[in-house]
Structure 1
Amino acid sequence: MERWKSNLYFLWIAQILSLMSFGFGIPFIPYFIQELGVTDPVSVKFYLGILNSVPGLAMGIMAPVWGYLADRLGRKMILLRATFFGILVLAGMGLSQNVNHLIIARLMQGIFTGTVTASYALVAAGTPDNKLSYALGVIASSNFIGSSIGPFVGGLMAEQFGYRISFFAGSSLLVLSFLIILIAVKEENKTKWSDFKEQSKDKKENSPVIHRLRNAITPLFFVILVILFFVKLGGNASAPYISIFVQEIRGTITGSSAITGTINGAVGLSTALAGLTIGRLGDRISKRKILYVLLAGTIFVSLPLYFISRIVYFTLVYCFLFYLIGSAEPILMSLMSENTPKEKRGMAFGIYSLIANLGWAASPVIGSAVTIAFGTKTVFLCIPAAFFIALLISLMFLKEQREKIPS
């Protein structure tokens, strides 16, 4: 079997386990903080905004640094680093005694973890260009499969054994992901440490990060980053508040974890299917046209969410919505990656992750303000608003960018 295929399949398994691990406990943080003593509804929404923005902001700041080091030291090493610290962070969340401890753990998550971007960078660097959309779609599917199984199992586990056990179980499972990456994934053409030290001493490269940033950010890349920001902003605005939405509809926290886990699991499954199906289309027809359809479809599908008050109907519409959203990001990544030389893709994915995480960090802050001021359901209106801006930008500017990013 070709090395790129072998790596892809092992990374697919490792990422399923990784996202399962985080999915065991993190979707239920709104319930966990109530167990930690935060029970006022306004305070819960306020802390949810902080807890969901802190890791995104920290991860966004660190992403270009890890991306630069990935190009220098090897993408496998950076993925192992992210997985190892994930083990520690999840265990730390399970040990939290108050909401401040949980905030610190989420901050550490943002600074030191990030297996998703690291796995994308590793796959992109070793995959032939004509298979890139497919490979990125496969990795996207692993993320969403893990994100679907994790909350479902974690919700049942939390109902039976408590939220802390869910975090500890996730930490334990992440050890298996670490071992698969360590033993089975083989990276080719990575920079040796001795070469890295020589490059660091070279006076001609006093500012290698700035130089690589200047080479990577071209007009096409910039447009993709702006679109990505609004896609992440809209796609993540409602996620932290699904658990509160379920709790408000049911009128009790009892049993809500299992229902929330089921919703998140179904959403993960639909986005996994998106990565496998739409990802293949991106290798055959215009990625720009696919993106236009996905952004427009997201706007129309998300509008009814505000008016739905039955969990079954909500879940069906929400799943289809995230099929569209889950299809958009692999297309954006493929557009970015195929226009970036392989030796610069680590830095490119670092910049990409920076913007994605800034969108992730901004969305719960906006969501918190909206839900406190206007009620929980209003957060669903943030989705069509953000995707309308993304569609407008793509129609105005993306079609004008035809050049490939130069080496």
Structure 2
Amino acid sequence: MDTQKRNFYIIMFTNFLVAGSTTMIMPFLSLYIESLGNFSDEYVQRWSGLVFGVTFVAALFMSPVWGRIADKYGFKPILIINGFGIATSIFLMGTADSVLGLFMIRLFMGVVTGFIPTSLAFVSSQTSKETAGKTLGTLQMGSVSGTLFGPVIGGLMADAFGFTYTFLITATIIGIAALFVVFGLKEIRKPKRKGAHVYARSTVIHGILHHRLLLNVMIITALIQIGNFSIQPLLSLYVAELTEGTAQVAFLAGVTFSATGVGNLLFARLWGRLGDSVGYEKILGLLLLLAFVFIIPQAFVTELWQLIVLRLFFGVAVGGMIPTTTALMRREAPIDIQGEVMGYNTSFRFLGNIVGPMFGGIVSGFIGISSVFVVTGSLFVFAFVFLWYTKKQPDQDFEDVLLEQELKHS
């Protein structure tokens, strides 16, 4: 087996382990906070949101930093730091004796979070521009599979072994994934181009801000994540409304959550391959419209099975969005600063992760849970119009934009 193919299989497997393990702790995080003291429901709910969200806040600021370091020293060292860092964080979560201590551990976890986005950037850097979409779409199957099984297994383990041992087992699994990277991954560093230009961080930032396609795709990335995350904290409540009187609400909510992941899993590779052949912008535009078509009817369902079917189709649409936007970055960004550019794109993803739940909560508080689907659908339409407008503008070469910004700010 050649090195590139072996690297791909290792990254796909470790993505499965990391995604599955990090989502194992999600079902019982609020219950764990509750176990740390005699707290009111309001206190637990407030701190559950803070403890969950602080990881994304720290990751938002650190992603470009890790990307810039990866451009200089390679992606493998960053994957190792992220892997062992996440494992250490989760192990420490099992030893927390206060809510504030847990909050600080989750903050540290955000500093080293980024294994999966970094692995996407790693595989992208090793892949030709012509097949990036298909390869990244296939890679996403690993992390999505982990996300599907992780919450179920985590909930079962917490019931069987307790919180502390579940954290320990989860940390061990992620540590094993990091060891696979240490001993199995072989990074093929592409030689620096002769006379390759070294850009200052400020130049890269100004370059992104003045490159219409890159900037707008990053904004669209944030809108996609807001759309994905706005309904997630509320979905269990919506399922409870649709299944009033049923005792198995938690199980049915889990099935509804998983339906999106199944659609994602089945079609991510196909969308990536289509992007390679007909153009990433066209496929991204189509996916945004499909997401709108499948999310709006979710506001008007009267039976749970209708919601599950629509969530499945919605997953088919959103499954291709991250591989497609990542492949766009791969196409536009010079190889020497690709890690940093993808780091900024990851920051926009984390921004969407933070804003999404707050946005959904605010909308549902004013006009009800079902209205969140309608408002979120309008975000996908807005993102489509944004992309369409961008494509109508003249093309820009990112390296030309970087050099122009460097001269302007020198």
Q: Which bracket does the TM-score occupy, shorter chain normalised?
A: 0.7 to 0.9
Give CA-to-partner distance per residue, 1:69-120, whole Å, 9 cap, x none.
Answer: 1111211111111111111222233344454444333322222211111101
Q: Within 1, Cα distance between the matches of 2:277 and 2:127?
A: 17
2:82 matches 1:90 = no
Q: Given that residues 62 and 111 in structure 1 are in contact (C-alpha distance below 8 angstroms), is that contact kept between their aligned partners in structure 2?
A: yes
Q: Within 2, Cα distance between the matches of 1:279 and 1:344?
A: 23
Alpha carbon RMSD of aligned pairs, Å?
Answer: 3.0
Alignment of 1:158-173 (within 5 A): 158-173=158-173
Q: Within 1, Cα distance between the matches of 2:143 and 2:258?
A: 12
Q: Given that residues 212 and 390 in structure 2 are in contact (C-alpha distance below 8 angstroms), is that contact kept between their aligned partners in structure 1?
A: no
Alignment of 1:17-96 (within 5 A): 17-34=17-34, 40=41, 46-96=46-96
Letter in structure 1 aligned against 2:77: M
- Where does structure 1 lack aligned partners over 5 or more consecutive residues? 193-203
Alignment of 1:52-201 (within 5 A): 52-189=52-189
Task: Choose from 332, 340, 360 the match for 2:325.
Answer: 332
**C-alpha deviation, 1:257, in angstroms:** 4.8
Q: Within 2, Cα distance between the matches of 1:350 and 1:150?
A: 26
SS in structure 2 at match of 1:19? helix
Q: Within 2, Cα distance between the matches of 1:375 and 1:29?
A: 26
Q: Within 1, Cα distance between the matches of 2:97 and 2:369?
A: 27
**C-alpha deviation, 1:367, in angstroms:** 2.5
Q: Which moved more, 1:241-250 or 1:51-60?
A: 241-250
Q: Given that residues 151 and 264 in structure 1 are in contact (C-alpha distance below 8 angstroms), is that contact kept between their aligned partners in structure 2?
A: no
User: In the superposition, relative to structure 1, how do residues 337 and 282 fare at CA in structure 2: closer, same or farther (>3 Å)?
Assistant: same
User: In the superposition, relative to structure 1, how do residues 212 and 147 fare at CA in structure 2: closer, same or farther (>3 Å)?
Assistant: same
Task: Choose from 218, 225, 248 the match for 1:225.
Answer: 218
User: In the superposition, relative to structure 1, how do residues 307 and 43 fare at CA in structure 2: closer, same or farther (>3 Å)?
Assistant: farther
2:210 matches 1:240 = no
2:204 matches 1:212 = yes
Letter in structure 2 aligned against 1:179: L
Q: Given that residues 52 and 361 in structure 1 are in contact (C-alpha distance below 8 angstroms), is that contact kept between their aligned partners in structure 2?
A: no
Letter in structure 2 aligned against 1:136: L
Tell which has more relative contact order, 1 or 2 (C-alpha 8 A, sep 6+). 1
2:278 matches 1:285 = yes
Q: Given that residues 89 and 105 in structure 2 are in contact (C-alpha distance below 8 angstroms), is that contact kept between their aligned partners in structure 1?
A: yes
Q: Within 2, Cα distance between the matches of 1:110 and 1:253?
A: 37
Letter in structure 2 aligned against 1:50: L
Number of equivalences: 395
Letter in structure 1 aligned against 2:14: A
Letter in structure 1 aligned against 2:87: I
Q: Within 2, Cα distance between the matches of 1:32 and 1:308?
A: 34
Q: Which moved more, 1:42-51 or 1:171-180?
A: 42-51
Give CA-to-partner distance per residue, 1:323-361, whole Å, 9 cap, x none.
Answer: 211211211111121111212111111111111111111
User: In the superposition, relative to structure 1, how do residues 54 and 370 fare at CA in structure 2: closer, same or farther (>3 Å)?
Assistant: farther
**C-alpha deviation, 1:267, in angstroms:** 2.7
Q: Within 2, Cα distance between the matches of 1:233 and 1:339?
A: 24
Q: Given that residues 53 and 354 in structure 2 are in contact (C-alpha distance below 8 angstroms), is that contact kept between their aligned partners in structure 1?
A: yes
2:406 matched residue in structure 1: none
**C-alpha deviation, 1:252, in angstroms:** 9.6
Q: Given that residues 51 and 103 in structure 1 are in contact (C-alpha distance below 8 angstroms), is that contact kept between their aligned partners in structure 2?
A: yes
1:276 matched residue in structure 2: 269
**C-alpha deviation, 1:304, in angstroms:** 2.2
Letter in structure 2 aligned against 1:116: I
Q: Within 1, Cα distance between the matches of 2:304 and 2:164?
A: 27
- Where does structure 2 lack aligned partners over 5 or more consecutive residues? 401-410
User: In the superposition, relative to structure 1, how do residues 304 and 128 fare at CA in structure 2: closer, same or farther (>3 Å)?
Assistant: same
Task: Choose from 384, 395, 401 the match for 2:388.
Answer: 395
**C-alpha deviation, 1:175, in angstroms:** 1.6
User: In the superposition, relative to structure 1, how do residues 317 and 164 fare at CA in structure 2: closer, same or farther (>3 Å)?
Assistant: farther
Q: Within 2, Cα distance between the matches of 1:326 and 1:39?
A: 39
Using the size of structure 1 for normalisation, the TM-score is 0.86
Letter in structure 1 aligned against 2:261: G
Q: Within 2, Cα distance between the matches of 1:313 and 1:221?
A: 37
**C-alpha deviation, 1:389, in angstroms:** 1.7
Q: Given that residues 275 and 330 in structure 1 are in contact (C-alpha distance below 8 angstroms), is that contact kept between their aligned partners in structure 2?
A: yes
2:358 matches 1:361 = no
Q: Within 2, Cα distance between the matches of 1:48 and 1:250?
A: 25
**C-alpha deviation, 1:19, in angstroms:** 0.3
SS in structure 2 at match of 1:241? helix
2:310 matched residue in structure 1: 317
User: In the superposition, relative to structure 1, how do residues 264 and 132 fare at CA in structure 2: closer, same or farther (>3 Å)?
Assistant: same
Q: Within 2, Cα distance between the matches of 1:314 and 1:233?
A: 20
**C-alpha deviation, 1:190, in angstroms:** 6.9
Q: Given that residues 360 and 372 in structure 2 are in contact (C-alpha distance below 8 angstroms), is that contact kept between their aligned partners in structure 1?
A: yes
**C-alpha deviation, 1:262, in angstroms:** 3.6
Q: Within 1, Cα distance between the matches of 2:203 and 2:100?
A: 39
Q: Within 1, Cα distance between the matches of 2:224 and 2:258?
A: 21
SS in structure 1 at match of 2:333? coil
Q: Given that residues 67 and 340 in structure 2 are in contact (C-alpha distance below 8 angstroms), is that contact kept between their aligned partners in structure 1?
A: yes
Q: Within 1, Cα distance between the matches of 2:308 and 2:352?
A: 24
